[in-house]
Chain A
Amino acid sequence: MTLPSELENPVPAKLAVEHVSKSFQTKRGNLQALDDVSLTVGEGEFVCLVGPSGCGKSTLLNLVTGLDEPDKGGLSSDGLKITRTGRERGMMFQEHALFPWLDVLGNVLFGLKLKPHLTPAERLQVAKFYLELVGLKDFIHANIHELSGGMKQRVALARALAPNPRLLCMDEPFAALDAMTREHLYADLQDIWSRRRKTILFVTHNVREAVCLGDRVVLFSPNPGRIREEFRIDLPRPRDINSVELAGYATRITRALKSHTGTTPSAE
């Protein structure tokens, strides 16, 4: 049995962020996480958001997924206002956020069980498809604590992809991993993205990572969080994070970042 409809790639989402502001009450007063931020992301575009901590990148992802609401401005996906969370906008977190009471398969099935039109057999098939896509088909019944950090993030990716979202937010998903594991994941993520075309918003501190993955790199500065500059990355894919051209881009962007914020992000 094949599942053409469920495994088919839906048209990726077109995202529009218009004049969005968001502030938080903290112990040290009011923090303006986002101040009049506008951004459009095209269908199937891979956009990396780069900037130092506290510049509102993660806040923006929370608004896009619907986990939070903006104070001012609006967000829309394909022209529809984003008012709450929904499985058409998936999210991957820096902490893997996998559920420890479920095994690997159970985690990937979680979102699929919320799709009532699928039969249990179809859900299983879809889950296995994604676990194979991330290279973990031999770990279907492993417990979460038995996996390495990189494997956990692969499961998290499979889990986020399984409900077949049209837009995927990734909040520093590789930041806690070691360099070797990360390089593997850059290659795999590019491969997966080429096969499961999604619109991706990817937050990172790491400029090289952004250049390696993104079609576009958007620079943020903090206090208040604003977009300062955008860079289009015209490099052929798949990209190697160690390539010279890539390093050239990264150097330019790092320099720009320093001039905007006076701080140095990680440029490894």
Chain B
Amino acid sequence: MKRVVTSVLFFAGLVAVWQALAAAGLWSPVLLPPPGDVAHYLLKAVKDGSLLEASLVTLGRLLVGYLLGCLLGLPLGLACSRVQALSDTIGVLALGLQTLPSVCWVPLALLWYGQSETAMLFVVVMGTLWSVLIAVDNGAQSLPPIYVRAARTMGSHGLHTLIHVVLPASLPFIVSGMKQGWAFAWRSLMAAEIYVTILTGYGLGHLLHFGRELNDMTQVIGVMLIIVVIGLLADKLLFAPWERFLHRRWGTGR
């Protein structure tokens, strides 16, 4: 409870500083609108449904691409950790591509797939796949070998060992890799949406872009706030339960 109060006070303070700066009139209200105006835009956008629609479009793209990236990255990472030849080929490729900021996939995706959902999906998958793959590979390779040995003496072999020992034992690495993959996917999707108008649906990135084109700072700041909130919620809802589980079981953290 005390932690909630601390947080609320902090953010209330931030808004108060914002309000004070806007009221001081140092900058034009076009450049720095007061919090009330931004709230007004958000309320309007919620009412006419444009905000919800854009959020759903963006989250839909993100979820599908992210799940696809994880579904490819997990087994590939496990396979790389077990088979030297795969580690020397796919593993090296993944390491290289992971250093590529995922926004860099946008031009290529547009040329390949045009201004389509497929292009968006491609960018998100590229953002997710490599970091998940590398995290799983690293995690599975840095396991203490004694876990696998102990499992074998209890009659575990092959695929059973992979699924019931290697995979859960690498969980701390996997969760942090999936978190990183999520962050990369989220950033690359926003960049793609800001750059590219996709006619099949306007996402949050598009709203942000339109805000700039219309010189409407309340919309720009409002959409940015929503993007931040979605990022926070994703962290709390998707990853915090796993991290709590890891801390409890492994006895790490506070």
| Chain A contact residues, CB within 8 Å of chain B | 65-67, 84-87, 89-91, 93, 95, 97, 99-103, 110-111, 114-115, 143-146, 159-160, 163, 169
Contact = CB atoms under 8 A, between A and B. Distances in A.
Contacts of A99: 147, 150, 165, 168-169
Contacts of A93: 146, 149-150
The 3 A-B pairs at the shortest CB distance, nearest first, are namely A145-B251, A111-B154, A87-B155
Contacts of A66: 152
A163 B156 CA distance: 12
B212 interface: no
Given A91-B150, A95-B146, A99-B147, A143 B251 contact: yes
| Interface magnitude class on chain B | 20 to 34
Given A93-B146, A97-B146, A99-B165, A85 B248 contact: no
B99 interface: no
8 contacts: A67-B153, A85-B152, A85-B155, A91-B150, A110-B154, A115-B155, A144-B251, A160-B153
A114 B160 CA distance: 9
Contact of A110 (B146, B149, B151, B171): B151
Chain B facing A: main interface SS: helix
A194 to B, nearest CB: 23
A110 B152 CA distance: 11
B153, B155, B171, B251: residue with the most chain A Cβ atoms closer than 10 Å:
B153
Given A143-B249, A145-B251, A159-B154, A97 B169 contact: no
Contacts of B157: 84-85
Contacts of B155: 85-87, 111, 114-115, 163
Contacts of B164: 110
B248 A143 contact: yes
B11 interface: no
Contacts of A95: 146
Contacts of A101: 168-169, 171, 249-250
Interface of B: 146-147, 149-157, 160, 164-165, 168-169, 171, 248-251
Given A87-B154, A101-B168, A145-B251, 11 more contacts: A84-B157, A95-B146, A97-B147, A99-B147, A99-B169, A100-B249, A110-B156, A111-B154, A115-B155, A145-B249, A160-B154
A25 to B, nearest CB: 17
Nearest to B150: A97
Contact of A67 (B149, B160, B168, B248): B149
A91 to B, nearest CB: 4
A90 B164 CA distance: 18
Nearest to B152: A85
Given A97-B146, A99-B147, A99-B169, A89 B153 contact: yes
Nearest to B151: A110
B67 to A, nearest CB: 23
B121 to A, nearest CB: 32
B156 to A, nearest CB: 6
Contacts of A115: 155
